[in-house]
Structures are given as C-alpha cells and as structure tokens.
C-alpha cells in the first residue's frame, strides 16, 4: 500500500515557518490560508497551524541512556539525498543539534543521522540507511 504521512503542528509565526521549511530546507507549499499552510516535506504533508500558545518548549536531554531528543519528527532519505542535504546544511552553516553521525554502528539498524531545530524549537531528524529495506529490521535477540 502506498501512503503519505501527515502531521499537523502548532507554530508561532507562519512567515518564519515558511522561511525555514520552504526557503531554507527547499520544501514546497500546498494550500495556504491566513492561519495555516500545507508543506510538502519530502513527499509528506505537514500542516503548520498558527497557535502560539500551543507551541511548547522542546527539551533535549543529552545523557548516556537517551542521547537524542525524545520528542522529534523527521524523514528517512535515500543515501544519496541524505548526503546532498548534509552538504547543503553544512554550506548554509546550520547549527546542528546533533552533528551528522553514524549510530548503531555494526548493529541491526546502523544508520546515519543528523538533527536540527526549526524556528519554533521542534527537533527534526534526517536519517538514512545504506539499504532502505533495513529500516524496519529488528534484532530478534534484543526482543
């Protein structure tokens, strides 16, 4: 079954959101109204809805147990597209929350990842696998 993912989330300022997702990341827009807009986020639909009071401060707990933001969203890109985005973000001098790195090295689920923040403080992860068919592979010994 082919399907698209949809996420609606509150933002403080629609113009700043557009600048980040469209002008900075290179996404495109769909429908736009005075208080919301659809964003084509790498083929999936994000709906940014103006509601400043609903935007909550995202906290990053960097510890040994969980060195990634517990609340985040993102996209799994092809190997080639992830590396192109990495180069683009570096050339734009983005401040990475987590620098591009390999995680789960040598394990089932080995991947490359990087995290950035949007203007409202949402954590966004970009990840890739050398073989995208391994995205849902599980280590049966760890269950």
Q: How many helices (H) and strands (E) does the chain have?
A: 2, 8
Q: Please tell me the pTM assigned to this model.
A: 0.89
Going from N- to C-terminal start, the domains of the chain cover 1-54, 56-143
Tell me what percent of the residues of the chain surpass a pLDDT of 70: 92
pLDDT digits (tens, 9 = 90+) for 51-66: 999 998 887 776 665 6
Given CATH 2.40.50.1040, say whether it is the number of domain 1-54.
Answer: no
Burial class (CB in 10 A: 0-12, 13-18, 19+), 28: exposed
120-141 pLDDT tens trace: 999 999 999 998 888 888 765 6
What CATH number does domain 56-143 carry, 3.20.20.70, 3.40.50.300, 3.10.180.10, 1.50.10.10? 3.10.180.10
């Amino acid at each position: 079954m082919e399907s698209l993912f949809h996420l609606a989330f509150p933002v403080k300022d629609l113009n700043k959101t557009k600048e980040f997702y469209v002008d900075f990341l290179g996404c495109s827009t769909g429908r736009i109204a005075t208080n919301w807009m659809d964003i084509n986020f790498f083929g999936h639909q994000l709906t940014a809805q103006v509601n400043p009071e609903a935007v909550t401060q995202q906290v990053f707990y960097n510890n040994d147990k969980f060195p990634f933001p517990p609340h985040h969203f993102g996209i799994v890109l092809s190997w080639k597209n992830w590396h192109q985005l990495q180069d683009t973000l570096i050339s734009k001098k983005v401040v990475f929350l987590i620098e591009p790195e390999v995680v789960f090295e040598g394990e089932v689920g080995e991947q490359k990842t990087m995290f950035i923040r949007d203007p409202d403080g949402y954590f966004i992860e970009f990840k890739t696998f050398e073989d995208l068919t391994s995205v849902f592979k599980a280590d049966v010994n760890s269950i």
